[in-house]
Amino acid sequence: MTDAASRHQPVLLQRCVDLLAPSLDHEGAVAIDGTLGMGGHTEALLEQCPGVTVVGIDRDRDAIGLASQRLARFGGRFVAHHAEYDDIAGALARVGAERCDGVLLDLGVSSLQIDEDDRGFSYSRDAPLDMRMNREDPLTAADLLRDADERELTRILREYGEERFAARIAEAIVRRRDVSPVVRSADLVDLVRACIPAAKRVPGSNPAKRTFQALRIAVNRELEVLERAMPAAIEGTRVGGRIVVMAYQSLEDRIVKTALAAGSTSSAPHGMPVVPDDDQPYLRLLTRGAEKASAAEAEENPRATSVRLRAAERTRPTPPARLRRAA
């Protein structure tokens, strides 16, 4: 428990609890922490909402092991679920519930994964290029760099990393394969640095940052999972329940924003005097735009620097017609 707590400082911890607490203030409440990590947010919910049971989802068995040790003192109020975080239905089934009272998603790579050298997530330490959040998945970043053709590598770097020099980096990766594949993070950093002109590098930032982000997203299918997770979270939340999502880059945030905006606005043509039932909103936004961490928190916890928090409350069931349109 001490190890997990000392290695992880949760982002916007109290703000997340404050947003979720109004829907968790009754005996028998159920919350889902879709991105359990080392259990910091779940611990705070269990401490501050004494009637709640939290199901913590994580695809990383190492994270589940550490969090379970940390949260053992709460007994049956904490339940772990090894899965990707779009499996809201599976998490609910673990506690025999049809819907929950609150969902928390803290997206992106966890502190545990970054800090473990052998995971290969960090561009600041040399390690094998693994990058799997679930070590049981078959594809590693090294596999992707070895097998993907130049066109696919360019697409991944451009789409998931928003890398301006994607084509140049992809070409260099493929050319390097004729000698030996790129299998270590230090080699990839050196290769990317050589592809980006010094004048175009951002001072104080590693030039390989976008490439590492892109490969991590591709290996773990992060955007695909998020596209499924948002509707699953909304439909898995009861009326009066709340959903809180923290994103750390624009691709994630765009998906979150789109899903919450769709639920919080009428789908009727503008100007209709009476909005039909099937076009009524079913969410109420709890944040104005995306909230960011304070300067003080960002200085104390660097991971909070890029966070964008959005939250919504379920106000009514989704009209069947809108469910059919989204399917």
Cβ atoms of 209 and 69 within 8 Å: the answer is no
40 is in an annotated binding site: yes
289 phi-psi bin (left φ>0, alpha ψ -120 to 50, beta other): left
Q: Is 82 annotated as a binding residue?
A: no
DSSP state of 247: E
DSSP state of 51: T
**Radius of gyration of the chain from Cα atoms?**
21
Query: 104 - beta bridge partners?
Result: 33, 244
123 is in an annotated binding site: no
**116 Cβ contact partners less than 8 Å away, ≥ 6 residues apart:** 62
Question: How many CB atoms are closer than 10 A to CB 98?
Answer: 10
Is 41 annotated to bind a ligand? Reply is yes
Tokens (6 digits) for 227: 């596209």
Annotate 28-40 with b (16+ C-beta within 10 A) or e (fewer): ebbbbbbbbbbbb
Contact 57, 36 (CB under 8 A): yes
**DSSP 8-state assignment for residue 28:** T
106 in a known ligand binding site:
yes
Look up residue 23 and give its DSSP letter: G
Three-state DSSP at 81 gives strand
Distance from chain centroid for Cα 11 = 12
Has 39 been labeled as part of a binding site? yes
Residue 261 in tokens: 């905006």
Which segments are annotated as binding site for S-adenosyl-L-methionine? Answer: 39-41, 58, 85, 106, 113
Which segments are annotated as binding site? Answer: 39-41, 58, 85, 106, 113
